[in-house]
Structure 1
Amino acid sequence: MVGGERRRCIYRDVLPFAAMVMVEFMIVGGNTLFKSATAQGSINSYVFTFYVFLLGFFFLLPCLFILNRRTTIPPIKFSIVVKIFLLSVLMYLSQVFGYIGLKYGSPTLSSIMSNLSPAFTFMLAFFFRMETIDFRTYTTRAKVTGTIVSIAGALVAMLYSGPTRSTYSFSLNSVIGGVLLASQYFLVAFALVAQAKIMLSYPIDIMVVFVFSVSGLFVAGLAGLVMARDSDAWKLKLDVILATTLYMGFTSGFLTVVIQIWTLRKKGPVYVAMFKPLTIVIAIVMGVLFLGDSLQFGSVAGGMIITIGFYGVVWGKAKEESGPSAQTTVPLLQPHHAIEDGGSIVF
């Protein structure tokens, strides 16, 4: 009995914790590897995005067929297919914004900006009337305050590098990268809201994942052919760019999706969301060790501020959903790494 209880404890508590920590390391590791690859050679963001979509699709395809055997799939309407296709366009744009933003910014800045997703999702959900705001409740005050604090933290990280002789330091590349990365996660948030709408009409996640993967691959291939007409840009060599492509395709396009779905079903969305700020710490350490980045006060301060705002939104939403009047709203606390890194939709 003791051995069985220990195994159940490991499966229930230890494995989900280790899995989510591993996910955060894989995501930041991919961003760090991509940043290192851009420093050693030219990477066409459109071609790179296509290859990541392609590898992710090939890795996911067997899983979809396996799951399909266990589920009876009703026919999908053409209107739903069109909506999923438009969603894939948004996700492709977010992917491109993310890679270009990494070229101008850093993995640390990307990790900081990723914590804006709950705030953006809350704002969009309110705009589309999927969330209600009642300042008489402490949950609304927590979400609104957390959103404002998150945006303030993002501005600090973008605009303030740290104290210098001239009182403060300003980096144009950091601003450009920050705007692009913030745009990436705004699109991610928009996709979560759109995803909630689609799932209300067609709640078969297997089919939605398949259509999303196929349409995303089509969009990435078409955009790559238009934006990268030089055939040399499509050639892969045995170098760090190829290693980065394989790594991102396997982890972001496949492995993190599977791990997050499993953890989500075992522990719930709040548990998955609470690990997100860990990426800031991992990114800072990896940036200093592998990229030679200097530890900037602005990044640390902005990361701390945005983490406080992040947990404010998460706490408010969690309390709201666990209350007696809880109702189904936009999946604000869903893990979104799979979307933001070019993989697939997580339900």
Structure 2
Amino acid sequence: MELWSLTNLLPFMGMVVVILSQVTVLQVMKAAMSEGKNKFTIMVYSNVLSIFVLLVSCLIKHRSDRPPPLNFSIICKFFLLSLIGCLMQIFSYVGIEYSSPTLATAMSNLVPAFTFILAIVFSQAKSIGTIVAIVGAFVITFYKGPLLLKTLSPKSNWILGGFFLASDALLSSAWYILQALILRNFTSVLVLMLFTAFFGTILATIFTLIIVGDSSAWNLKPDIGLVAVIYTAIVGSLFQSSLGAWCLSKKGPIYVTTFKPLAIVLSVVIGFLFLGDALSLGSLIGAIIIVAGFYSVMWGKAKEENTIEHSDIGSLKSSAGEKVPLLNNKIDRIIDV
């Protein structure tokens, strides 16, 4: 019952929305690229729009209370977070251009693996689940197998795309951990995302001006390119990034990253139905392996938290009446769990 309490249920539901947002943003971006739209100019325009969306949200959220004070150290951390985020966007968009959103969501399952490694994995169930998720991601990347359902067959380079997407996954792990560290001392999620979008827009604009030589790539028309800009800014920034940051502040980076495998099934279905991605045997096998790894990780994490909780309760009972400060500390730990 504690597992499904309101404290745990809200972050769980929030992460489901975050994953759905992530998948649809990738699908819309892939559709825009397939129509010849420049991925980097879309990135710049969506970041600019994100600034206005987040600014309005911050003004509404903090109209009655002030956000935490800013200092030079916090701003430097914001900039570092923006730099990592900008590189993540670049690698992600290049990766899905060479491959597909299906591969992108599959390779994002390396994020919890990298995060577990960085955080030092103690649970055997989580270790096995992490290894299984990595195997599934590599199966989807390097083994396509016979086509099970055939639609359009666009030119692609899945190996190169997989490399960029794996790099994105590694950066994402560092991004989640750094964001969690920042949110320990700076609790305003919207202000954090606003500064991240601001610095990210500057970095993305400089990069795009250097890389994109065709001035016509900056033209916006009422087509899929404009839809990608608006959808990425609103859904990607307001829902995916901000809601993801809130869940991160509540449950930590490991909890957030373990939801990545849930994206693969939805991505396969949407990619096949709407973007013409081919459904191969390798994709199906890899998806099954990844989902199995995900539930192994979640089962191991739930069992670990339950064990810790019962251990703390037992310790509370045995030490009741002996040391009141110790008793209070134990209770605080149980509430945090």
TM-score normalised by the chain length of structure 2: 0.76
2:299 equivalent in structure 1: 315
**Within 2, Cα distance between the matches of 1:228 and 1:243?**
21
Q: Do structure 1's residue 87 and structure 2's residue 71 form an aligned pair? A: no
2:33 equivalent in structure 1: 38
2:23 equivalent in structure 1: 28
Match of 1:154 among 123, 137, 159: 137
Deviation, 1:25, is 4.0
Deviation, 1:214, is 1.8
- 1:83/1:271 CA distance change after superposition, 3 Å: closer
- 1:295/1:263 CA distance change after superposition, 3 Å: same
- 1:97/1:252 CA distance change after superposition, 3 Å: same
Pairing 1:191-206 to 2, within 5 Å after superposition: 191-206=175-190
2:111 equivalent in structure 1: 117
SS at match of 2:133: helix
How many corresponding residue pairs?
A: 300
Q: Percent identity?
A: 41
Q: Deviations over 1:95-126 (max 9, x none)?
A: 11111111111111111112222111111223
**Within 2, Cα distance between the matches of 1:267 and 1:50?**
31
- 1:206/1:34 CA distance change after superposition, 3 Å: closer
SS at match of 1:277: helix
Q: In 2, are the aligned partners of 1:97 and 1:183 still within 8 Å (CA)?
A: yes
SS at match of 1:225: helix
1:278 equivalent in structure 2: 262
**Looking at CA atoms only, which structure, 1 or 2, has the larger radius of gyration?**
2
Q: Do structure 1's residue 143 and structure 2's residue 126 form an aligned pair? A: yes
**Within 1, Cα distance between the matches of 2:276 and 2:103?**
15
2:151 equivalent in structure 1: none
**Within 1, Cα distance between the matches of 2:13 and 2:178?**
31
Q: Deviations over 1:252-310 (max 9, x none)?
A: 12233455577789999999767643321221112221222221011111122122223
2:200 equivalent in structure 1: 216
Match of 2:272 among 282, 288, 294: 288
Deviation, 1:215, is 1.4
SS at match of 2:157: helix
Show structure 2 runs of 5+ residues with no match. 1-5, 148-154, 313-328, 330-337
* 1:173 partner amino acid: N
Q: In 1, are the aligned partners of 2:143 and 2:282 still within 8 Å (CA)?
A: yes
Q: Do structure 1's residue 101 and structure 2's residue 95 form an aligned pair? A: yes
Q: In 2, are the aligned partners of 1:118 and 1:313 still within 8 Å (CA)?
A: no
Show structure 1 runs of 5+ residues with no match. 1-10, 127-132, 165-170, 328-347
**Within 2, Cα distance between the matches of 1:194 and 1:214?**
18
Q: In 1, are the aligned partners of 2:91 and 2:165 still within 8 Å (CA)?
A: yes
- 1:205/1:279 CA distance change after superposition, 3 Å: closer
1:55 equivalent in structure 2: 49
SS at match of 1:256: helix
- 1:92/1:312 CA distance change after superposition, 3 Å: same
Q: Deviations over 1:216-258 (max 9, x none)?
A: 2222222222222432221112222222222212211223345
- For the aligned residues, what is the CA RMSD? 3.4
Q: In 2, are the aligned partners of 1:48 and 1:245 still within 8 Å (CA)?
A: yes
**Within 1, Cα distance between the matches of 2:9 and 2:184?**
34
Q: Do structure 1's residue 69 and structure 2's residue 63 form an aligned pair? A: yes
2:236 equivalent in structure 1: 252
**Within 2, Cα distance between the matches of 1:199 and 1:19?**
17
Instruction: After superposing the two structures, state which structure 1 stretch, 101-110 or 74-83, moved more.
Output: 74-83
Deviation, 1:21, is 5.5
